[in-house]
Structures are given as C-alpha cells and as structure tokens.
Amino acid sequence: MPYDATKMADWQISEAAERHMKPISQLQEEMGLKNDEVLPYGRIARLDFKKILDRLSSRPNGKYIVVTAITPTPFGEGKTTTTMGLLEGLGKRGKNAGGAIRQPSSGPTMNIKGSAAGGGNAQVIPLTEFSLGLTGDIYNIMNAHNLAMVALTSRMQHERNYSDIDLQKRGLRRLDIDSKNVQMGWVIDFCAQSLRNIIIGLGGKMDGITMQSRFDIAVSSELMAILSIARDLKDLRERIGRITVAYDRQGKPITTEDLEVAGAMCAFMRESINPTLLQTIEGQPVFVHAGPFANIALGQSSIIADKIGLKLFDYHITESGFAADIGFEKFCNVKCRISGLKPHVAVITTTIRALKMHGGGPRVAPGIPIPMEYTKEDLNLLEKGIPNLLHHIEIVKMSGVRPVVCINRFQSDTPDEIGLIKRYAEEKGARVAVSDHWLKGGDGALELADAVIDACNDEVRFNYLYPADLPLMERVETIAKNIYKADGVLWKPEAEVKARALEADPEKMDYYTVMVKTHLSLSHEPEWKGVPRGWTLPVRDVLIFTGAQFLCPVTGSISLMPGTSSDPAFRRIDIDTDTGKVRGLF
C-alpha cells in the first residue's frame, strides 16, 4: 500500500519505507550480480562496474529511456519523481527495469531545491544517505580539485622564494606560472555567494602569492564532468592529467601533470568511478553516479552507470538535468556522442501549474501562499503556457527520438485542463500519459509505463543537432537558433577572440560544446518565461576543460557559484538525538 503523501512529509515516507527496504543481498540476487561485483557500504553498496561489464559484454542492451522536462519553475516539475514513478510503474507491469540518477549536491539540499530524491511515493531510498554524502563521490571530487589548487599555489610561492638552482635541488623546474592567468579556482559543495570572488595569499612571504581567486560549487568542477564521461580508471587518470590549472607567462598551459599532482588526484577518486546502488520505495534498483547542475555542468548520470543498466535491465531509465533545452541537448550531442549509445524514448515531465506560470501566471516565492490561479481551473492561462511544452517536444523530435509527455498530476488539476494539454501535445506528435506516482507510487504510474513500453517499439532514427566537425561559433549559433529560438548570438569581444583562437587550434577541434546558461528560461534571462521571441544570446566567455575536452560558452550573467536564499532548507533539518535519525530532508 502506498503511504499517505497528502499527510506525510517526504522524509517521513522515506523513513517508513526504509523499514521494509530490500537488503543489498536481495537486490544483488534479483539483479543477477556476483558477490565480487558488489562492494557493501552500510545499507547501500558500490558496484564494480568493470567486472559487471566484462561478464555481460555479450548480452544485448535493453531499452534506453531518458527523462527530461519543460523549463523549470519554482514549483518543481518532478523529474526525479517521474523517474522513480516510471520505474515503479514498470515494476508493477512485471518488467525488469532499473535507472540511473545523479547525486545531489549539498548546495541545493541545504538551500531551496532539496535533495532531489523524488517525492511522495516515488522516491529513492535511503533518503539520508542519498542526501548527505552517499559514498563520498562529491567529497572525493572536492579533495582532488582543491589538491590541484594546493599544488599550484604552493608551487608559485616556492618559485618566488627559490632560485633555479634551489628548485633543481628539490627536483623541480621553474614553471613560470602567471598569477593573473589561473584557470581554476577552489570548490565547495555549498551555495556560497560570498566566495564567488576572493583574494588569497594575504600576509607575509611564507603565506603564498597574493592574487584574485574564487570558489565554484563542487559539482561544476571539471572532475565531475570527467567522472560523467570516463570509460574506465585508465581513462579517468589520463583525463585528470590533461586538466589545465593555469598558464605560464608565455601563455602555455600548466597541467596537473606539470604540477605532478594528477596521480594523487586520481587516488582520491579511485572508488568514485564505481556507481552506488540504491532503490525506489517499491524496490527497483537505482544507480547514483555523477552530479547535477546541467546549467553550469554536463548534468548527466554517468555513462558507466548507463552501460551497466543497459546490460542488467530490459528497460534502463536515465536522467538529464533541467529541461530539454539544456539537459537533453547535452545528453544527445555530448553524452551520446561519447558513449555511442542511442535512446529509444524521451519522457518530458510537465505540470499544469508550471505551464500556467509560463503562460504569464503570478510570481511564486518560498513562504508566500500559492496564488489561486495555480489551484483553480484556468484554461486561458494554461493555453498561453502550453507553447513551452510544445517547444520541448520539438527539441526531442529534432533528435529523432519519440517523446512521451508525462503530466505529473496534482489534486487541483481538472479533466478539462488535462484534456487541453493532451490535445496540443498529441497534435505535436507526442504520446501523453497522466501519472499519479507521487500519490500512488507504481499503481499511479501504469498509464505512463504503458506509454513508454509502447513508444519503445517505435523505430528510432537518432541524429545529432550538428556535425562533429562544425566550428565552435557555428555550433553555438545552431544551438541558440534551434534549441533556444534566439535570433542569433552576440559574442562579447573578448569571448569572440577566444572562440576564434580555439577554432584555429587543431588540438581543440574534437572538443565537445557544453553550454552554460540559466535553466529558468529558454533564453539567457531567467524572468523570460514561455517561448521568448526576438532576442539575441550573449556569450561573454568560453571555459576550456582540457581533461574532459569540453568548450563551455558562458551566456548571460550565470555564475558557477549559486547563492543561498533567505529561507534555506537547513533551517528545518535536524537530528533526533535519541535515534540518530535525520529529520526534515525533502
């Protein structure tokens, strides 16, 4: 029986469900895993991906399903909730199904968004482990990333304080690092706006070089991007060694190999290459690997997790960050290029109240009662917002993948409102399913499961948005015009100079393009809802990830370090000192 989601908070449902969760040994048996392929870690486990893939190399892949959404609103559209609900619905239909989602960052967990575990009766459990560190992947990334900065800043100090002869006695050569041309900053796994711009090295001669620096949120680190796409430990080590930390005074890149820190960085991440195994409330297996923030990072569950899932399950569901203009675009044009995998179905999550906001509905903010426009039938407002959904359907169709629209139903939704969405979406060529997974779990997701099963039988002629050899500036133009519906791209002078230099560099010709853009709008302006028209996309910089081989055009005023709100989630999180259980996570 599902739990009463109308009366219980998500953490309360999770706590109740965890009393009946399957032990790792049962999941292992049901998935057909060998003892040496499972690495227990309390109530959860890591999986030895290499042993699993080596053993199952000849097994055909299952169906590959990606979950995306419309442009996000403060309501939250429930993408992870839909992923969990679909898994539970497929389970109710007797299908062998599993999924892969991303590990939540402590930034949103302790801020507004929460832990991204799903909600109601469609959650991943155990919630506390999932939300607070899991098996340490993000911590390992922080340590490895910051170690590179330690290596850089200490080397700069020693080169200032020692002569060439003294450096040689210590087995070092002068790198001649330019303190005004440092590529990396530090990372921390919180939203901390006061760390966006900092000065380090204040003090005396032994306190380092005084220079401007910064903190980014940990999951935006190039190391997270590398973890998302790495093939194996050897590939991970090689990519870490290619990371550019800074440049010398002649403009030559200084890599982690130059700093002799790449090996130690990889040592921190040696276990992180293995995905973590959790489960839904109803016992379907879920892999957790790689991180969120598709607006400033790749934002995909890992290629390794997907490859395992496609061998173990008949239906493997993966999650891409934010909406189709960001997460799904990167999924197709970056992740699928690297992995060689091709999806069968894309599920687009939507809600009626989110579409009403895209239609011009009133502002919503934490702590303020939801305006009645979102809880009462308003077909006119809804119809004005539906173009946002239709555009995301079109984005999916550009790839040749068949879209399934999931209407994540709320109790205030009316039959006429649901009917209106169905009519427009079906006319656009999408299947449509109404799902009550938040309220009813798998029993509420049967219509969605049936629609996905049916769509998996369609022929898919998957294609990329642009050819791999298209120059960088033309790629950005193609993405802006087709995916964002911009009229064009305006390159800031310094960004254009950088982009043209990158286009002329033969070593960068095979790099992938990963856009950095707000997730709150199809445009670069978070306030522009719906499908904005008559605008130009400004590009102010291009970040270069030489380890991941990514070129990341930065648009608008987006920052790699989000800020914490005035009413963060940590105000409501506490611990029961008698039982040690965490309360208040959502």
446 vs 134: CA distance, rounded Å: 30
* Helix%, strand%, coil% for the chain, nearest 5: 40, 20, 40
Q: Looking at domain 137-266, which CATH architecture does it have? A: 2-Layer Sandwich (3.30)
Q: Which residues of the chain have pLDDT under 70?
A: 1, 366-367
Using CA atoms, how far apart are residues 112 and 420, in angstroms rounded to an integer? 31
Q: Which of 130, 322, 331, 491 is catalytic?
A: 322
Measure the CA angle with vertex 311, ends 308 and 312; round to 5°.
85
The residue from 68, 71, 80, 81 that is catalytic is: 81
356 is catalytic: no
Q: How far apart are CA 363 and CA 84, in angstroms?
A: 29
pTM of the model: 0.95
Please indicate whether residue 79 is annotated as part of the active site. Answer: yes
Encoding tokens for residue 191? 């939203």
Q: Which fold has domain 11-135+272-455?
A: Rossmann fold (3.40.50)
How far apart are alpha carbons 545 and 543 in whole angstroms?
7
226 DSSP 8-state letter: H
Do 11-135+272-455 and 472-555 share a fold? Answer: no
Q: Which is the catalytic residue, given 95, 102, 311, 529? A: 102
The residues that bridge with 97 in the sheet, in sequence order, are: 315
- Report the CATH number of the 472-555 domain: 3.10.410.10
Q: What DSSP letter does each residue of 283-314 carry, written as one string? A: --EEEE-S---TTTS--B--HHHHHHHHHH-S
pLDDT in tens, 427-484: 999 999 999 999 999 999 999 999 999 999 999 899 999 999 999 999 999 999 999 9
Please report, for the chain, the start and end positions of each structural domain, with discontinuous segments joined by +: 11-135+272-455, 137-266, 472-555
210 carries an active-site annotation: no
Q: Which two tokens stand for residue 232?
A: 């194996």
Active site residue 11: no
For this structure, is 294 an active site residue? yes
Place of tokens 């402590």: 106
| Active-site residue (options: 46, 63, 79, 242) | 79
**Ramachandran class of 251: left when φ > 0, alpha when ψ lies in -120 to 50, beta otherwise:** left
Catalytic residue, candidates 438, 535, 545, 550: 438
In this prediction, residue 365 carries a pLDDT of 75
Determine which one of 97, 225, 294, 495 is catalytic. Answer: 294
Determine the residue type at 321: G
**pLDDT on residue 171:** 92
Per-residue pLDDT at 79: 94
Q: Are strands 402-408 and 431-435 parallel, antiparallel or unpaired?
A: parallel
What residue type is 22 in one-letter code?
A: K
**Any catalytic annotation for residue 113?**
yes
Q: Return the pLDDT at 193.
A: 96
Q: Which amino acid is at 231?
A: R
Residue 340's CB is within 10 A of a number of other CB atoms, namely 8
Tokens representing 274 are: 């293995």
pLDDT of 434: 98
Q: Is 18 helix (H, G, I), strand (E, B) or coil?
A: helix
